[in-house]
Structure 1
Amino acid sequence: MTKTTAFDWRPFLLKWSGEWADAQPEDETRDEDDEAARRARWLGFPPAPEERIAAMEERIGRRMPPSYREFLKVSDGWRHAGGFVWLLAGTEGARWHNNESELADLFEEYLDEDAGPEERVEADIWRRGLQLDVESDVTHVLMDPEDVDEAGEWAVYTWASWRAEPPERHADFREFMREMYREFHSLRANGSEKEPEFVNDTTQDLDALVAEARLEALRGGWEGALKTLEEPKDFGRPRAAALDDQIRHLLGQTVAVRFEGLVTDRRYASELLPPLVAEHAKHSYRDDATLMFDLRGADKDVVALAHATLDQVRNGTYRYTAAGPFGEAVERARELARWGDTDGAWRTLVDALPRWEPLGPDHLVPLGWVADPLLGPLLTPERGRELLSVPRGGQPGEAQEPAAGLDPGGLAWLAEPDPSNSRASYRFVLVEGAEPQEVPTRLADGDSAVLDEPLSLWEARRRSRDGRQEFSSFDDRALMAVGRAGTGWSFAFDDDPAPFDRRRFVSPAAAASGGTRAVVVWSGLREWRGEPFFHLSVARDGAEQYAFTYADGEVRSHGEIPRPLDPGRFFGDPEDITAVERSLLEALTGEFGACLPRHAIENGRLHTFTTRSWTRPPQDGETYAVIHVM
Structure 2
Amino acid sequence: MDWGPRLRRWSAEWISTSEPGELDPAVARDGWLGFAAATEDEVAAAEGRLGVRLPPSYRQFLLCTNGWRNAGGFVYRMRDTTTVGWLRDLEPFWEEWDDLDEQETEGNRFTRGLLLSEETDSGILFLDPADVDESGEWAAYSLFSWRAEPPTRFASFAALMEDLYAEFHQMRKPAGETRDAWDAEVERARLAALAGDVDAAAGVLARAEDFGRERATVLRVQILLLSGQWYEAGMLLGRLLHPSFLPDGFLTDPLFTEELLPYLFDDHLRRARQGRQSVLQSAMIGERPPIMAMVAEHEPRFARPGEGFGYGNPEFDRPVRQARAAHADDPDALWTAIRAAMPHWRPRTPEHIAPVALLADPVLAAAITPERGRELLTTPRLP
TM-score (norm 1): 0.53
8 A Cα contact 1:333 1:346, kept in partner: no
1:19 matched to 2:13: yes
* SS at structure 2 position matched to 1:157: strand
Q: Which has the higher strand share?
A: 1
For the pair 1:166 / 2:150, whether they are aligned, the reply is: yes
Unaligned runs of 5+ in 2: 241-245
Q: Is residue 213 from structure 1 mapped to residue 189 from structure 2 by the alignment?
A: yes
CA 1:200/1:389 → structure 2, altered by over 3 Å: closer, same or farther?
A: same
Q: If each structure's helix is expressed as a fraction of its own residues, which one has the higher value?
A: 2
Q: Select 1:251's aligned residue among 212, 217, 227.
A: 227
Structure 2 counterpart of 1:74 = 64
The offset of 1:276, in angstroms, is: 4.0
Percent identity over the alignment is: 38
**Are residues 1:269 and 2:256 paired?**
yes
Alignment of 1:106-505 (within 5 A): 106-108=97-99, 111=100, 115-116=101-102, 124-189=108-173, 198-257=174-233, 258-259=236-237, 260=240, 261=246, 264-267=250-253, 268-270=255-257, 271-276=259-264, 278-279=266-267, 285-288=274-277, 291-293=280-282, 298-304=290-296, 317-319=305-307, 320-322=309-311, 323-340=313-330, 342-392=331-381, 394-395=382-383
Asked whether the 8 Å contact 1:277–1:306 carries over to 2, the reply is no
**Aligned-partner residue type, residue 293 of structure 2:** D
CA distance in 1, matches of 2:367, 2:219: 22
Q: Secondary structure at the match of 1:239?
A: helix
| CA distance 1:89–1:216, change in 2 (3 Å) | same
Give 1:603-614 correspondences, 5 Å limit: none
Q: Which amino acid is 2:334 matched to?
A: A
Tell me how far apart the structure 2 counterparts of residues 39 and 282 of structure 1 sit (CA, whole Å): 58
Quote the Cα distance in structure 2 between the aligned partners of 1:171 and 1:158. Answer: 12
Q: 1:66 to 1:347 in 2, by over 3 A?
A: same
Whole-Å separation in 2 of the counterparts to 1:140 and 1:290 = 33
Asked whether 1:94 is paired with 2:84, we answer yes
**Counterpart amino acid of 1:329?**
P
Secondary structure of 2:119's aligned partner: strand
Q: Cα RMSD over matched residues?
A: 2.9
Amino acid aligned to 1:387: L
Q: Letter of the 2:9 partner, please give it.
A: K
Aligned residue type for 2:294? V
Deviations 1:499-542 (A, max 9, x none): xxxxxxxxxxxxxxxxxxxxxxxxxxxxxxxxxxxxxxxxxxxx
* Equivalent residue letter for 1:9: W
Offset from partner CA, 1:40-70 (integer Å, 9 cap, x none): 2211100011121122222222221121111
* Displacement after TM superposition at 1:168 (Å): 0.2
State how far apart, in whole Å, the 1-side matches of 2:292 and 2:146 are: 31
Match of 1:607 in 2: none
1:280 CA displacement: 6.1
Q: Is the 8 A contact 1:48 1:76 kept in 2?
A: yes
Q: 1:103-156 deviations in whole A, cap 9, x for unaligned?
A: 323545xx5xxx3469x99x9222221111111111211111222223222111
Contact kept, 8 Å, 1:182 with 1:234, in 2: the verdict is: yes
Asked whether the equivalents of residues 43 and 80 of structure 1 are also in contact (C-alpha less than 8 Å), the reply is yes
Structure 1: distance between partners of 2:368 and 2:44:
61
Task: Tell me if structure 2 keeps the 8 A contact 1:337–1:375.
Answer: no
- Are the structure 2 counterparts of residues 280 and 147 from structure 1 closer, same or farther at C-alpha, using a change threshold of 3 Å? farther
CA displacement 1:204-236 (0-9 Å, x = unmatched) = 111111112222222333233224424322212
- Measured in 1, the distance between the counterparts of 2:256 and 2:64 equals 49
Count of residue pairs brought into register by the alignment: 364
The letter of the residue matching 1:269 is F
Q: Which residues of structure 1 form unaligned runs of 5+? A: 1-6, 190-197, 396-630
What displacement does 1:254 show? 2.2
- Cα contact 2:328–2:334 (8 A) shared by 1: no
Contact 1:14 1:42 (C-alpha < 8 Å) held by counterparts: yes
Q: 1:283 to 1:58 in 2, by over 3 A?
A: farther
- Alpha-carbon distance in 2 for matches of 1:282, 1:78: 50
Match for 1:24: what amino acid? S
